[in-house]
Chain A
């Protein structure tokens, strides 16, 4: 066993200072190193979600983002997808607090006339095995809204008098999911289309 170093006030303060300083410098360095890749990973995730919810495009939607104001002083980020300069779809990053756990985020793509093209879950903390059935890789539940135009398709779960089949045993998640789409749809139809 190594002999313990004596603890005097000066060497205690000095040791703690050196340990913390080395730690902070190393972390700062690692932070700079990973900053680029973290940004790239986030960007890739967004672009992938946009590609999933809008038709093929040849612009870079994340370079043309604009914000849509919604009721509670918040706003949603929109990504217009264009092909040969013509608007083919708009991906809107939307969210809901009506889910089972905390706020979750989804990306929803609208055709220029407001028809829902597709959806993609961005992040959620819903219950594994129940609420996470809204994920594409866990089932095709979420595909039922694809191709529907909310003008004649009631964005509410059947339990609440709408047209959407809820996930069995995960009514809250289902409500949240349609609530998020509804939020984006209303904002989009209120002049959120950028031709």
Chain B
């Protein structure tokens, strides 16, 4: 498969948040400000690409070779949890400034289903080699970033608008997210 097609499909057509519904928790949780949304995106991109590479290799060379693919869920989630820890420790040592920026988001990533979801999708796709999987993971991270940053921009404006009492807060944010998803459906068919 062509890399270009993978990238366009993952970012716009099958956007991980707005079309596939993965990573909705951080999408709603850390999107009240653009700056936090950018930080979260950075952390997710980092872990998502790393985790996909490691789990892909494990799936192909360990789980499938030994015929124990039923251990997939346990293995993948442990890999992601340890990677998050590892990245945290390494960032603290190597680049304290980056750690300052991403640090608080890292623990949240273990339970971000976008990371596990992308790892599983890449491992299960018969057409994907290591290169395709890496590109796929990166493109999905970009898609996640675009969705969450656009959404946080819209939420910042929501603060200034008069909203009916009952719809304040989460309900109106979800309706806005729905409209954003509707806009993304316009990309359908370009890939």
- Chain A residue contacts of B70, Cβ below 8 A: 27-28, 31
Whether B161 sits at the interface, judged by CB under 8 Å, is no
CB proximity of A19 to chain B, nearest CB, Å: 11
Chain B residues within 8 Å of A101, by CB: 14
Q: Which of A20, A23, A100 is in CB contact (< 8 Å) with B188?
A: A100
Residues of B close to A23: CB separation below 8 A: 74
Cross-interface CB contact of A27 among B14, B74, B188, B189, cutoff 8 Å: B74
Chain B interface SS verdict (over half): loop
A24 is an interface residue with CB less than 8 A from chain B? yes
- CB contacts under 8 Å to A, within B95-112, are none
A172 within 8 A of B: yes
How many residues on the A side are at the interface (Cβ–Cβ under 8 A)? 9
**B71 is an interface residue with CB less than 8 A from chain A:** yes
Q: How far is the CA of A27 from the CA of B71 in the complex (A)?
A: 8
Interchain CB contact under 8 A, B189 and A172: yes
Tell me the total A-B contact number using a CB cutoff of 8 A: 14
* Interchain nearest-CB distance for A102 vs B (Å): 8
Interface of A is mostly: helix
User: How near does chain B come to A166, taking the closest CB pair, in angstroms?
Assistant: 13
Binary per-residue interface labels of chain A (7-20) against chain B in the complex, 1 for a CB within 8 Å, 0 otherwise: 00000000000001
Whether B189 pairs with A24 at a CB distance below 8 angstroms is no
Contact residues, A154-172 vs B (CB, 8 A): 172
What CA separation (Å) do A34 and B3 show in the bound complex? 38
Q: Which residue of B lies closest to A127 (CB)?
A: B188
- Cα(A23)–Cα(B68), bound, Å: 13
Kindly provide the distance from the CB of A113 to the nearest chain B CB, expressed in whole angstroms: 33
Distance A22 CA – B71 CA, assembled complex (angstroms): 13
Residue-wise interface mask of B (148-191) relative to A, using a CB-CB cutoff of 8 A (1 in contact, 0 not): 00000000000000000000000000000000000000001100
Chain A neighbourhood of B189, CB < 8 A:
100, 172
| Chain A nearest Cβ from B49, distance in angstroms | 21
Name the residue of chain B whose CB is nearest to the CB of A27.
B70
Residues of B within 8 A of A28 (CB): 68, 70
Q: Which residue of B lies closest to A130 (CB)?
A: B188
Q: Which residues of A, 1-56, contact B by the 8 Å Cβ criterion?
A: 20, 23-24, 27-28, 31
Determine whether the beta carbon of A24 is less than 8 Å from that of B188.
no
- From 38 to 89 in chain B, residues with beta carbon under 8 angstroms from any chain A beta carbon are 68, 70-71, 74
- Point out the residues of chain A lying under 8 angstroms from B188, CB to CB: 100
The smallest C-beta distance from B189 to any residue of chain A, in angstroms, reads 7
**Complex contacts, A100 vs chain B, CB 8 Å:** 188-189
User: Sorted from nearest, which 10 A-B pairs have the closest CB atoms?
Assistant: A31-B70, A27-B70, A23-B74, A27-B71, A172-B189, A24-B71, A101-B14, A100-B188, A27-B74, A28-B68
* 8 pairs, A vs B, C-beta closer than 8 Å: A23-B74, A27-B71, A27-B74, A28-B68, A28-B70, A100-B188, A101-B14, A172-B189
- Contacts A24-B74, A28-B68, A100-B189 known; 9 new A-B pairs at CB < 8 A: A20-B74, A23-B74, A24-B71, A27-B70, A27-B74, A28-B70, A100-B188, A101-B14, A172-B189
B residues with a Cβ closer than 8 A to A are: 14, 68, 70-71, 74, 188-189
